[in-house]
Chain A
Amino acid sequence: MYPPNFNYVRAGSVAEALSLIASEDDAKFLAGGHSLVPAMKLRLDAPGTLIDIGRIEDLRGIAYGSGDENDCIGPLTTHATIASSNLASALVEAAGGIGDPQVRNRGTIGGNIAHADPASDLPTVLTALEASIRVENPSNARNIDAANFFTGLFETSLEENELITVIAVPREGAGTGSAYAKLFNPASRYAVVGACASVTLNNGVVSRARVAVGGLTPMATRCGSVEAALEGRSTDAIKEASAQVASDVGDDILEDIHASAEYRLGVIPVYVERALQAACARAAG
């Protein structure tokens, strides 16, 4: 690969990474490099400085919460690590279906959500799971709900000098289950469409449903109509509720050589239904 010239610095700590991003011109963090480097290779992106955060151990790994505490995932945690973890099933499932082994061994959850590709799997999952994303700049730290984190096509509410430091995901208690269902793009393995569901079952009744879809919308989209149509009802209502997804996704449906908007809209209810069925099966234990 022959990108334009760039400077490379390796940050040893979060503090150093934050001071470097403040002082370097036109700098970007480098995590797994599986979105940034391909873009540099094609000269679609040409950062002046790469701040390699890849060896900051504090940013790597999973701290499981106990009781009602969240599970806390370091942004440098790879897809492969998540795929073999005890995190919420939908997250494990989605991470295991990303790209191929090489991508999963290098790509990180932090890079994945910062990049915010509309075809990415993890934004959809984190939106459905109501994850919270902690970001820091040299002087401040704040928590952003996943629902507010993704703001558009390759756009997030992350400021240029902010670093993702923790992704907090609620633990899945008894009676709760989640699942992710996706149509693979046969070339890249990204999601042509993807659906994530998290449900809590109470005596056969869905007491809580959280659903999000991706791949067909510019950013991961929470599906309030599907949730409302299902909550308080039995799992028999899944098919009918899934059909509501059309009213959640709006008019801005993506279209490319892999799938027309018509097709994406046509099959998304099927993936929502499959995610809900699997989530309910898990919730029922």
Chain B
Amino acid sequence: MAKFVGKSFKRVEDPRFLQGQGKYVSNLQRPGMAYVAIARSPHAHADIKGIDASAALELDGVVAVFTGQDLIDGGVGQLPCGWVVPDCKIPERWPVVPDRARHVGDAVAVVVADNPYVAEDALELIEVDYEPLPVSMGARATTEYRAQQLHAEIPNNTAYSWALGDEDGMRRAFAEAAHVVELDLINQRLIPNAMEPRACMAEWDDTMEEMTVWTTSQNPHPIRLLLSGFTLGIPENKLRVISPDVGGGFGSKIFHYPEEIIVPWVARAINRPAKWVATRSESFMTDSQGRDHVTNVRMAMDATGTITGLHVQTWADQGAYLSTFAPLIPTALSITLFSGLYKIPGIWGEMKGTLTNTVPVDAYRGAGRPEASYLLERIVEKGAQKMGMDPIAFRRHNLIPADEFPYQTPVAFQYDSGNYQGLFDKLEEISGYGDLREEQKAKRAEGKLWGVGVSGCIEASGPAPSAVAGSLGSAVGFWESGTVRVHPTGKVTALTGSHAHGQGHETTFAQILADELNIPLEDIEVVHGDTGRVPFGMGTYGSRSAAVGGSALVRSATRVREKMTKIAAHQMESRPEDVYFDDETGNIRVQGATDEGMSFFEVALAAYTAHDLPPDIEPGLEETAFFDPSNFTFPNSAHIAVVSIDRETGEVTLEKYFGVDDVGNVINPLIVDGQLVGGVAQGVGQALWEHGIYGEDGQLLTGSMMDYAMPRADRFPQIETDRIETPSPTNPLGVKGAGEMGTIAGTVTVANAVVDALAPLGVDHVEMPFTAERIWQTIQAHS
């Protein structure tokens, strides 16, 4: 019986965070530490003709100044791309550019000083002779004939073209269609903005020739692999990477960044610990950004409103270089979701990854799935409009029926499980959908602009079956490791290759193990984020931690349990099949026996004393398992947003929000709700406020919190969440991902609501974000 899984527990990590006792990289100090500051290009595109650091070097407290060439001469390698689709052209990318800067914020020189103040002062004294070049901007415009080329080896600024689906089927569908709807839409550039800026600290042990790197990463093991194998060249067994408490990532801390190479390189070069902490301005111009797709989508329907075909062409702006997983996002994480919750026979998706003089774009919460959901749920909305059908009725008409799972889509994925009609049943119930439409009628009669937006979204989470990932372009595998170490006293340390930076693994993973091992929650400590302690792991992103990391721990716990069963059976002179873990007493007992059996502690101790073990059992009590999932999991959702629009000023107010999600089995409802609510806020942020804006000259115009509008709590109504649970058959926990659905659904739900509010004026699409001005201009143009 599950005592812990399925119940809400407050997060065990919170007391330390709430009391300011979290251990973040920027809190850490090493004796004799030097500080690194980085001179960055103020130009979006410029040749570097020379760097004069003499004035900086004269400043008291400056230890050294290094240029890109110094690092290259000192052995650093180029930043690799970890996901390579066929015929992908990977641009050169050095941690510090030796000769040409390609976006505002590109690193051009490194200052090392005794304290951060001097380091910043010295930055102002470094004279870089720039020769500005024309820039190329715009996901699609950059591919045009006259566009400025970013990299000599990549014609048309097009790094790759990728397509997936059934092109003939798509063409047939459109040829035979009774109705076709079409939209041109933009999924705008976003800037992630984790609460904690990126930071890196490194210490070199000259005698042992060992390097320790502390970095704000969502995945320290892959970072160690990349540092060792590609960029820094220190053997993996001499390199330890630690990601302690990390204050939010949202994808932006997955990737291998230049500073992670620069700081350890400097630490070794000067034989002193060194540290860099990003300023917020640096975060804006160096953290990988999100989205930025330009899309044309067409949808074919028969006379009854059955969707028969979908054709999507997208230009995905990847920025100036290909960041670690950049090509994955628009391809294998986006086109593969074009079937949505629907049966659509003829799907064909085409994607071009293009390069511009902007900060690189990579995974950002949802990563490819929000882009897929956005275009699909916008065109489905338009389809409903075209058919004159209620948007929920139209969706219901096209849903994959519950008895057709596993369901093979025409775009590679096989959906694991689901009950999509059930989602909408619950959504209509909790939102009072019928009443909302009545209310809307009344509001419209008064001349008010009041919209109800609906969405039904799917995502692929829990990456990934390693072989599948490999066949799609991945350079790595996506299994996870989990170690359960039972100490002689019966206390447990669990090591996981997943990483928590806000998700609450220390709580949920302990819940899983407490049930598996039949011990109290507080007897379990979950350790993550340290390559020196955890054997290996792939980290956290794509809502994979529970499904993949949790499953690895279940496996190792199962093995521990089996071993304890054998030891206990042996010591109690019984057969293993008669031994059981008793919920009530917490003891390990023999069926039918009247004695209390052995305590968990006694069996653990017996494993270590090894005085009396069964003949085939080794001493010790520790198991490590590697879990490679057989499939992704496919969380799905049905959401509703209600908005009102101020006709005179264009201001949009989110009035109500309802979300029903199927994330499979739920380990901790409190944490899942938190993920959903936070995710929705992030998704709504894209719809209403957020936009990373660049000028035509490539200058980042939203380079601070004064100009980049993040969501604020007081702009939100209560977000009502509910769920249905169809367990995923692809992992032992039956869980799907819960970390991203809010974001995936939140954006398009609000977009549909805004368009619905403006529908009486004849509006069928508006680009995001729905700023007061944009809505006002739309109203002006339609009245």
Residues of A within 8 A of B (CB): 2-5, 42-43, 100, 183, 185-188, 190, 192, 257-260, 263, 266-267, 270-271
Contact = CB atoms under 8 A, between A and B. Distances in A.
A260 B706 contact: no
Contacts of B708: 187
B591 interface: no
A242 B279 CA distance: 44
B9 interface: no
Contact of B120 (A2, A192, A270): A2
A267 B776 contact: yes
A32 to B, nearest CB: 16
Contacts of A188: 705-707
A270 B651 CA distance: 12
A267 B709 contact: no
B693 interface: yes
A277 to B, nearest CB: 12
B777 A263 contact: yes
Top 9 A-B pairs, shortest CB-CB distance: A186-B709, A187-B709, A2-B120, A263-B773, A188-B706, A270-B648, A186-B689, A267-B649, A2-B117
A2 B115 CA distance: 10
| Among A2, A43, A185, residue most surrounded by chain B Cβ atoms (within 10 Å) | A2
A192 B706 CA distance: 12
A267 B776 CA distance: 9
A3 B119 CA distance: 11
B679 interface: no
A270 B649 contact: yes
Contacts of A259: 772-773
| Among B116, B688, B702, B707, residue most surrounded by chain A Cβ atoms (within 10 Å) | B707
A257 B776 contact: no
Nearest to B118: A2
A10 to B, nearest CB: 21
Nearest to A187: B709
Given A186-B771, A188-B706, A263-B776, A43 B124 contact: yes
B134 to A, nearest CB: 22
A82 B557 CA distance: 60
| Among B116, B688, B701, B773, residue most surrounded by chain A Cβ atoms (within 10 Å) | B773
A77 to B, nearest CB: 24
Given A263-B772, A266-B776, 17 more contacts: A2-B116, A3-B117, A5-B121, A42-B281, A100-B712, A183-B649, A183-B772, A187-B705, A188-B705, A192-B772, A257-B701, A257-B702, A258-B773, A259-B773, A267-B772, A270-B649, A271-B649
Contacts of A258: 707, 771, 773
B124 A257 contact: no
A267 B707 contact: no
Contacts of A270: 648-649
Interface string B407-447: 00000000000000000000000000000000000000000
Q: Give the interface size bracket for B toward A.
A: 20 to 34
A274 to B, nearest CB: 9
B693 A257 contact: yes
A5 B117 contact: yes
B774 to A, nearest CB: 9
A78 B190 CA distance: 35
Interface in B747-783: 771-773, 776-777, 780
Contacts of A2: 116-117, 119-120, 279
A43 B773 CA distance: 32
B710 interface: yes
A259 B279 CA distance: 27
A2 B36 CA distance: 13
A185 B651 CA distance: 11
Interface in B96-135: 116-117, 119-121, 124
Nearest to A188: B706
Interface in B684-736: 688-689, 693, 701-702, 705-710, 712
Contacts of B706: 187-188, 190
A186 B711 CA distance: 8
12 contacts: A2-B279, A5-B117, A5-B121, A183-B772, A185-B709, A187-B709, A187-B710, A257-B702, A263-B776, A266-B776, A267-B650, A271-B649
A4 B121 contact: yes
Contacts of A3: 117
A13 B707 CA distance: 37
A22 B217 CA distance: 51
B447 to A, nearest CB: 16
Contacts of B648: 267, 270
B121 A260 contact: no
Nearest to A41: B279
Contacts of A263: 772-773, 776-777
Given A257-B701, A257-B702, A267-B648, A187 B773 contact: no
B697 to A, nearest CB: 14
Nearest to B715: A186
A257 to B, nearest CB: 5
Contacts of B776: 263, 266-267
Nearest to B777: A263
Contacts of A260: 773
A183 B121 CA distance: 39
Contacts of B693: 257
B650 to A, nearest CB: 8
A186 B771 CA distance: 9
A4 B122 CA distance: 10
Contacts of A43: 120, 124
A267 B120 CA distance: 43
| Among A4, A100, A190, A263, residue most surrounded by chain B Cβ atoms (within 10 Å) | A263
A245 to B, nearest CB: 14
A266 B709 contact: no
A172 to B, nearest CB: 27
| Among B119, B649, B702, B710, residue most surrounded by chain A Cβ atoms (within 10 Å) | B649
A27 to B, nearest CB: 20
A187 B117 CA distance: 29
Nearest to A189: B712
Interface string B535-572: 00000000000000000000000000000000000000
Nearest to A1: B279
Contacts of A100: 712
A185 B780 CA distance: 21
Contacts of B709: 185-187
Contacts of A192: 772
A266 B707 contact: no
Contacts of A4: 120-121
A183 B651 contact: yes
A38 B648 CA distance: 34
A258 B712 CA distance: 17
A55 B702 CA distance: 36
Nearest to B711: A186
| Among A185, A187, A192, residue most surrounded by chain B Cβ atoms (within 10 Å) | A187
A266 to B, nearest CB: 7
B707 A257 contact: yes
A3 B279 CA distance: 12
A266 B778 CA distance: 13
Interface in B75-110: none
A263 B774 CA distance: 9
B195 to A, nearest CB: 15
Contacts of B689: 186-187
A120 to B, nearest CB: 13
Nearest to A269: B648
Contacts of B710: 187
B232 to A, nearest CB: 27
Contacts of B124: 43
A266 B281 contact: no
A193 to B, nearest CB: 9
Contacts of A271: 649
Given A2-B117, A257-B693, A260-B773, A187 B649 contact: no
A187 B649 CA distance: 17
